[in-house]
Amino acid sequence: MTDRLVHVVDDDPGVLRSIGRLLKSAGYRVALYPSATALLAHGQAMEPGCILIDMLMPDIDGLSLLEELRRRHVELPAIVMTGETDADRILQATQLGAAGFLEKPFGEEDLLDAIQMAYPPAAPQLDGENQRDTIEDAVSRMEALSTRERQVLIALARGETQKVIAFDLGISVRTVEVHRARMLRRLGFKNVAQAIRLAVIAELGSDGPPPPDES
């Protein structure tokens, strides 16, 4: 049993209840919010904990919620749940201090691991002196990938589908899937959203993505 609290924000009642039950069974205390507005109503009086935020919500989306929380100086670690691996959104969430990402649909272990990792020490924000170290680390990790793994990741960060990537690289979709899986293992990530976050951060420290492999 833990005294850690998880604030969960999702406009889907079924998802909200399901996540709530899972976290309670894992020993967490849980506060459920059907909208960003409901969470913001608590303002700076929110009890310390971790915030699990759905990216797409009808009233205030996940990015706008993160931005408003930071504006109010609510610095609780936040994990963003997303069904779309949109590089721009992931970068914006990272710049707003998101500590992690969960790509829907995700498994129970993925959720629990992400929450465990979100607690201190949390992922560094991209500002001040931390920005250089964060970018350098991302660039170094990208360079450790094979050429194909790096190409697949950069293409995913651009929002390309695996079929498009396969066509552009002249390989099969199955081969793209193999490179994708190897890339995730090499980086130590469980989902593509985390890898895309790394790729977009690394690109901040370069003049652009590497040229395509001509071999």
Same domain, 89 and 27: yes
Give residue 85's pLDDT: 67
d(CA 85, CA 87): 6
Last-in-domain residue among 60, 92, 118? 118
Q: What is the mean pLDDT of the chain?
A: 83
Query: Domain containing 60: what range?
Result: 5-118
Q: What is the pTM of this model?
A: 0.62
Which amino acid does the sequence have at 209? Answer: P
What are 76's two structure tokens? 């609780």
Which pLDDT tens digit goes with each residue over 32-72?
Answer: 999 999 999 976 677 888 999 999 998 899 999 999 998 98
Same domain, 111 and 133: no
Angle 147-157/192-204 helices, nearest 10 degrees? 90
Task: State yes or no: pLDDT of 166 exceeds 50.
Answer: yes
Which pLDDT tens digit goes with each residue over 100-137?
Answer: 888 888 888 888 878 877 765 444 455 555 677 778 88
CA distances from 3 to 17, 23, 47, 139, 152 (A): 20, 12, 12, 37, 41
What is the residue whose two structure tokens read 């915030």?
Answer: 51
Same domain, 86 and 133: no
Last-in-domain residue among 78, 93, 118? 118
Residue 155's CATH number: 1.10.10.10
d(CA 96, CA 71): 10
Is 209 part of any domain? no
Task: State yes or no: pLDDT of 77 exceeds 70.
Answer: yes
Q: What is the DSSP letter of 43?
A: G
Number of domains in the chain: 2
